[in-house]
Amino acid sequence: MTQFETGELYEDIVDEESDDLRIDKWIADTFPDFSRNYIQKLIGDGQVCVDGTTASKNSVKVKAGQRITMRIPAGIIPDIVPWDHPLDILYEDDDVIVVNKPKGMVVHPAAGHMDDTLVNALLYHCKDSLSGINGMMRPGIVHRIDRDTTGSLIVCKNDHAHQIIAGQLKLHSIRREYRAIVCGVIAEDELTVSEYIGRDPRDRKRMAVTDLAHGKRAVTHIRVLDRFEHFTEVACTLETGRTHQIRVHMDHIHHPVLGDPLYGHDLGLKAPMKLEGQCLHAHIIGFEHPSTHEYMEFTAPVPEYYIRLLDILKS
């Protein structure tokens, strides 16, 4: 991250899977917290460049390998206040910290959640030891999980570690296995969903299965762990990491994640206990350490509500 008097500069390289996208769609996919109107304003104000040339309109196409630069006006960047809140730390050293995020916690500040996010708690715990590549609003954050999804998350404590981990994410070499309880009984023991995912044109809060021209390649490997009368527990391994990928893919095959408020086509099934959001947990994360190059793997214990739900279903 580079800080300027006129604001904050974001830079990123277009990957192969984002080749031949409109610049406004690329920004929307890369920065999902930005509204469509705000993206159009940035482009209209000349704040977006492609390989050093100002993007003249929203429909400018970007190609793999091009460098995208965006200047965010300083006036919209608020101070991020450290929050004295306990963290469930699975591992920590000078390069990375792996945390087990609880349900209901937003990963980084955004409208409506400025003081009680994981980033606020990390700033208190790590002080100034967080990477700055993703900007002032997302220090240390190299990937994220949804507010009501629990589990393991890698946070980078310096820019070198951030670049290495981000590179592994782009190469899809990081192991990410989730646990989920989904609606309906899945007949197959194992299956793979390979469907492109893009922004839902009817509702920007949602993602949707789409075609090559409007989405990115997304692959989810699903393994059945247990079957119940009306539900199934599964392990989902991500080959790619798209926004809401597991939730969209499970809904697409008519087995939505139980409790999902956004994709919850629940097939008329009623949860056997009160739920707060989707029953989805980032269970295992494995990666090559950015300095030692040793493969490391961590398991986030499933949360208490998930265990209670399983007990109810088994009984």
- The pLDDT score that the predictor gives to residue 19 is 74
Given the candidates 3.40.50.920, 3.50.50.60, 3.30.2350.10, 3.30.365.10, the CATH classification of the domain at 89-171 is 3.30.2350.10
Is pLDDT above 70 for 266?
Answer: no
Instruction: Using only the alpha carbons of the chain, give its radius of gyration.
Output: 20
- The pLDDT score that the predictor gives to residue 1 is 31
pLDDT per residue over 103-148, tens digit each?
999 998 876 677 899 999 999 999 889 987 776 678 899 999 999 9
Annotate 150-195 with DSSP letters as a single string.
EEEEEEESSHHHHHHHHHHHHHT-SEEEEEEEEES----SEEEEE-
Q: How confident is the model at residue 2 (pLDDT cuts 50, 70, 90)?
A: very low
Arithmetic mean of pLDDT, 202-222? 89
- The pLDDT score that the predictor gives to residue 258 is 96
Confirm whether pTM is higher than 0.95: no
Share of the chain above pLDDT 70, in %: 92
Is pLDDT above 90 for 191?
Answer: yes
d(CA 209, CA 243): 11
pLDDT per residue over 44-69, tens digit each?
989 999 999 999 899 999 988 888 98
Q: Same CATH topology for 89-171 and 177-282+310-314?
A: yes
**Cβ neighbour number for residue 160 with a 10 Å cutoff:** 14
Arithmetic mean of pLDDT, 153-174? 94
3-state secondary structure 205-262: CCEEEECCCCCECCEEEEEEEEECCCEEEEEEEECCCCCCHHHHHHHHCCCCECCCCC
Is pLDDT above 70 for 273?
Answer: yes
Task: Confirm whether 146 is a catalytic residue.
Answer: yes
Strands 280-288 and 150-156: parallel
**Domain locations in the chain as residue ranges:** 2-76, 89-171, 177-282+310-314
Catalytic residue among 12, 146, 148, 260: 146
Is pLDDT above 70 for 4?
Answer: no
- In CATH, the number for domain 177-282+310-314 is 3.30.2350.10
With 0-12 / 13-18 / 19 or more C-beta atoms within 10 angstroms meaning exposed / middle / buried, residue 258 is: buried
On whether the 2-76 domain is CATH 3.10.290.10, my answer is: yes
